[in-house]
Amino acid sequence: MSLQGTETIKVERHQQRVTVTLANPRLKNRLNSEDLADLLNLVNRLHQDTTVRVVTFTGEGDCFCAGFDLNELSRVTEDQRLPDFDKLAQSIEDLRCPTICALNGSVYGGGIDLALACDFRLGVEGMELMMPAVRLGLHYYPSGIRRYVARLGGKGARRLLLRSETVGGQDLLDLGFLDEIHPVDRLAAAARSLAARLAGFGPLALEGMKQCINGFARSSAELATMEERFQDVLQSEDIREGIRAQREKRPPGFQRK
């Protein structure tokens, strides 16, 4: 399946790993409605392409994403509609395979939700985070608030959403927003290393457990469905290959079947 980028969104593929880069550093990778639509279409295509085993989201410049273009936000609120950040973030969270957000710099507004939608978040020294919704008098969309609570707990969600604090450094680790912090020049290598590690694991098991974790976190998991998925993987060729490879002391050749 062909995965095409745009002028402001780059797509690179290396074997079973795909990297999506926000590439508008002059505007701090702010997103407009067209960007959101392009990203949503891309994520949907990645979901359907079962040869893709890990997706990494990152950005160019010193900011991962400054959220939605405020000039356009003033127009869409007058029309009583909101940008599709909620649809995009949900599609990233629901993406079949594991996702990594390699935050190359600071993150603001809706960009925070895109990062929270990913399974793993790696940041850089000196980065900061700030959600300006209450400063603008904006009620953040409920599905995003749910994600804040699921990922960070009520205390973390209140700190970021209600106090609108600028948070950085060790606090981002303590909140659970970041899994790791790296020097700027080592972030890409750290993200590649994690992506390669994940891509080498059993994809059916990874995908199934990711869905379980997200489902339980948002209290939407149906245990019967989870049990059925568990049984399916238990009968898969992949688990037999994994056991053979362990016995033969070689890397497994998982086929996702």
- Give me the mean pLDDT over the 241-253 stretch: 90
- Give me the mean pLDDT over the 22-51 stretch: 95
What does the longest C-alpha to C-alpha distance in the chain come to?
64
Specify the higher pLDDT residue, 3 or 167: 167
pLDDT > 70? residue 40: yes
Give the Cα separation of 247 and 49 in Å (integer). 31
Radius of gyration of the chain (CA): 19
pLDDT at 175: 95
**5: confidence class by pLDDT, cuts 50, 70, 90:** confident
Query: What mean pLDDT, rounded, does the chain reach?
Result: 91
pLDDT > 90? residue 234: no
pLDDT > 90? residue 127: yes
Return the H-helix or E-strand segment holding 199.
helix 187-199
Pick from 90, 93, 89: which is nearest to 107 by CA?
89
Domains, the chain, ordered by start: 9-198 (3.90.226.10), 203-248 (no CATH)
pLDDT at 8: 93
pLDDT > 70? residue 73: no
In degrees rounded to 5, what are phi and psi of residue 167? Answer: -125, 140
Specify the higher pLDDT residue, 2 or 214: 214
Q: What is the pTM of this model?
A: 0.93
pLDDT digits (tens, 9 = 90+) for 183-225: 999 999 999 999 999 999 999 999 999 999 998 888 876 788 8
Residue indicated by tokens 């079949």: 96
Percent of the chain with pLDDT strictly greater than 90: 74
Return the H-helix or E-strand segment holding 123.
strand 120-124
Q: In sequence order, what are the residues at sequence separation of 6 or more whose Cβ sits closer than 8 angstroms to the Cβ of residue 89?
A: 110, 113, 114, 116, 117, 143, 144, 147
pLDDT > 60? residue 78: no
